[in-house]
Amino acid sequence: MSSRIAAVALVSSVLLPIGAQAETVTFAGAKVGSLPNAFETALTGEGREGLWAIVEDTRAESGRALEQRTPDPTDYRFPLAIYKLAKARDVEATIRFKPIYGKVDQAGGVAVRLIDANNYYLVRANALEDNVHFYRVIGGDRQELKGVHTRVSKGEWHTLSLRAQGPKFTITFDGKELFTATDTTFGGEGRVALWTKADSITRFDQLKIETLQ
């Protein structure tokens, strides 16, 4: 195992068989109030740009988390924090997140094969609706592909994974596989990003990215 520092986010790289690679992004060394240099922000839809900053959280694994903290209630508003240091086609991305606040939504998600702020695949969990949904976003238009109802607790840490391998997508929540789906809209490489919706104030303390064969 080897490790490297990516801006103020800690990235651990683990070698896997036949060219596969995994890395875990945490925020242990990040400055409170800052956006780690390994990330850039963007917005899908309308409303105010997201404000992403490091906060202290005693229940985060490293004691710090990256929070989207702008409670803009615009319904079709999707702030993104895009991880700049990885690009992949076949990938499994896993987030550890905690919904904190939101009257319109209390959502957290992860995007893969992200081309830009208007084109990507997304899975998100919502604590107000108690569901997990999978989408494609084409030209800024969010289109649901599949979803299920499941308990998503506010104020608690959850894990959410999106595995993209060819046209097949596998969604896992809190260690349990929920469903699979197929789609061929985006078949090339893209970035991985953290995602929220509307007035959701959501914290993320870990992002795992595993590139697949």
Q: Please write the tens of the pLDDT for every residue from 107-122.
A: 999 999 999 999 999 9
* In contact, 174 and 158? CB cutoff 8 Å: yes
Closest by CA position to 12, among listed 208, 182, 211, 213: 208
**CATH no. for residue 38?**
2.60.120.560
Least confident of 19-23, 52-56, 79-83: 19-23
DSSP state of 17: G
- Residue 32 phi, psi (nearest 5): -60, 135
Arithmetic mean of pLDDT over the chain: 92
How many whole angstroms separate alpha carbon 24 and alpha carbon 13? 7
User: How many domains are contained in the chain?
Assistant: 1
- Tens of pLDDT, residue by residue over 132-161, are 999 999 999 999 999 999 999 999 999 999
CA distances, 173 to each of 36, 59, 124, 150, 170 (Å): 26, 19, 10, 9, 10
Task: Quote the domain boundaries for residue 36.
Answer: 2-211
Instruction: Note the pTM of the prediction, 2 decimals.
Output: 0.91
